[in-house]
Amino acid sequence: MRNTARWAAALGLTAAAVCGPLTGTAVAAPVAAPSSLYAPSALVLTTGHGSDAATATPERAVTLSCAPTASGTHPASFQACAELRWVGGDFDALQPRLDVWCTKLYDPVVVTAQGVWEGKRVSYERTFGNMCMRDATGSVFAF
């Protein structure tokens, strides 16, 4: 009987410590606060030879995070983030520069971008005729 009383007391103290005092009022779960003042912008960029992402093997992949500052494994993360901000995150707006001359050799290169840009999910794929055309669009996929 003595051990049962000790066990009940220990169980009661443990329950009070874990659950808090039983007052008959419900306690709401805390609301998750945002972890940053900036909307998340984190991407994984890939590039590889092939006509589409389903059949091409990624040859290179980098990470690019643009909020609150440019970072990641992208070799020119600051410039790539600036270019994406300039076009509002619209990858299709990254057009080839007119001052770059590329050969007409067809050796398709596919690029992808997966992740989040300013809080919105991104899933992008584009095939270029060759590496020169890819690099002519700026620094986003030049890695």
Structure confidence at residue 34 (pLDDT): 52
Residue 17 lies in a domain: no
Count of domains forming the chain: 1
Residue 8 has pLDDT above 60, yes or no: no
Does residue 26 belong to any structural domain of this protein?
no
- The CATH number given to whatever domain includes residue 48 is 3.30.350.10
Q: Does residue 10 belong to any structural domain of this protein?
A: no
H helices then E strands: how many in the chain? 3, 4
**For the chain, what is the mean pLDDT?**
79
- Taking 90 as the threshold, does the pLDDT of residue 7 lie above it? no
Q: Is residue 62 part of a domain?
A: yes
pLDDT at 65 over 70: yes
Banded model confidence at residue 38, pLDDT cuts 50, 70, 90: low
Element (H or E) spanning 19, and its range? Answer: helix 2-19
Measured between alpha carbons, how far is 61 from 47 in angstroms, rounded to an integer? 7
- Note whether residue 5 is domain-resident: no
Task: List pLDDT tens digits, range 102-142.
Answer: 888 999 999 999 999 999 999 999 998 888 877 778 889 98
Evaluate whether residue 19 is within a structural domain.
no
The residue segments making up the domain with residue 59 are: 42-136
- Alpha-carbon distance 4 to 123, whole Å? 61
Q: What is the pLDDT of residue 10?
A: 45
pLDDT grade, residue 71 (50/70/90)? Answer: very high
* Domain assignment of residue 15, yes or no: no
